[in-house]
Structure 1
């Protein structure tokens, strides 16, 4: 009887192997051959799951985005307004080794999205989802009197997305100056300014 393969589970396994290879060898060292070796596959055996390294990177990015969404959903459950906004940002910021590794996956994806319309669209859709969540938390915070600045919510959201995305680059490249405590202090300083 032929072995039944769970293709979704196998794809997820390959994404996780890709993370480990990137953490050890960097994005350039994460060749299809290297990933196949670490997964225990023959080189060509990845093709049924991912036709190219670009496709595998896109799946890895989407997995990072999904993991972040799962974290934010869990951690913001029962929260609203400014507390939910702060907690959401904490889950996006690279505050531990796992999230720094996630940043190392996301950064090369951004590079490929500059010249790949499909990846650019994927990124834009993901950011729209986050923007809508942030706008919802800001609306709650305004109703509760927690945010009183006259700066429009759409501008605040743009700033928060820029801050959290920029923190991923800084933490991956310059951890000494962008420690978790420093990231949280910078976020809190900004959120404090929303009350005036």
Structure 2
């Protein structure tokens, strides 16, 4: 009787191998042969799943976004306000080896997306989902926007967009700094930076 192959599981195994090879050798040094060997497959066995390394990278990026989303849902369940907002952001920050490996895949994907509109569109869709979620979490945490110079509040949407942008820049930028300078940007430092930003944004927020 022919062996039943779980194709979805094989794709996930290849993504895991991709993380390890990229982390060790970088994107340019990650050959399809090396990825296949790391996953325990013959080189030709990759072709039905990912004919090119570009397609494998696309799947790896979309997989880590889905994996991050699942962690976010679990981390924020039962939490409210600032606690939920912090927990959500922690799942993007590279605070452990798994999330640091995800960051390396994301950086490799960004490098390709600079010259590939289809990859840039995939990234934009994923990030818009995070932006919308952060906007809701900020509002639930009591964000009211900064005071304007004349004492009047700016339009809430404009203030919220800027706040969400600041958080996105921090958590995504942390993926680069933690990869390049881990000694200066370890987990404790990244959490402290996030707390500093959130405390500033939510200063004077409703209790």
Shared fold, TM over 0.5: yes
Question: Distance in 1 between the 2:97 and 2:2 partners?
Answer: 40
Gaps of 5+ in 1: none
Question: Distance in 2 between the 1:133 and 1:157 partners?
Answer: 9
Question: Distance in 1 between the 2:183 and 2:39 partners?
Answer: 33
Question: Distance in 1 between the 2:51 and 2:34 partners?
Answer: 15
Question: Distance in 2 between the 1:188 and 1:59 partners?
Answer: 32
Question: Distance in 2 between the 1:181 and 1:89 partners?
Answer: 14
| Structure 1 residue 161 corresponds to structure 2 residue 157 | no
| Structure 1 residue 119 corresponds to structure 2 residue 119 | yes
| Structure 1 residue 180 corresponds to structure 2 residue 187 | yes
Q: In proportion to residue count, which structure has more helix?
A: 1
Question: Distance in 1 between the 2:7 and 2:70 partners?
Answer: 22
Q: Give runs of ≥4 in structure 1 deviating > 3 Å.
A: none
How big is each residue's C-alpha offset from its partner over 1:33-71, in whole Å with a ceiling of 9 and x where there is no partner?
A: 111222233322211000110110111111111121111
Question: Distance in 2 between the 1:91 and 1:7 partners?
Answer: 27
Question: Distance in 1 between the 2:21 and 2:187 partners?
Answer: 24
TM-score of the superposed pair, with normalisation by structure 2: 0.87
The alignment's C-alpha RMSD in Å is 1.4
How big is each residue's C-alpha offset from its partner over 1:3-42, in whole Å with a ceiling of 9 and x where there is no partner?
A: 2222111111111111122222222221011112222333
Equivalence for 1:64: 64
Gaps of 5+ in 2: 147-153
Equivalence for 2:41: 41
Equivalence for 2:92: 92
SS, match of residue 185 in structure 1: helix
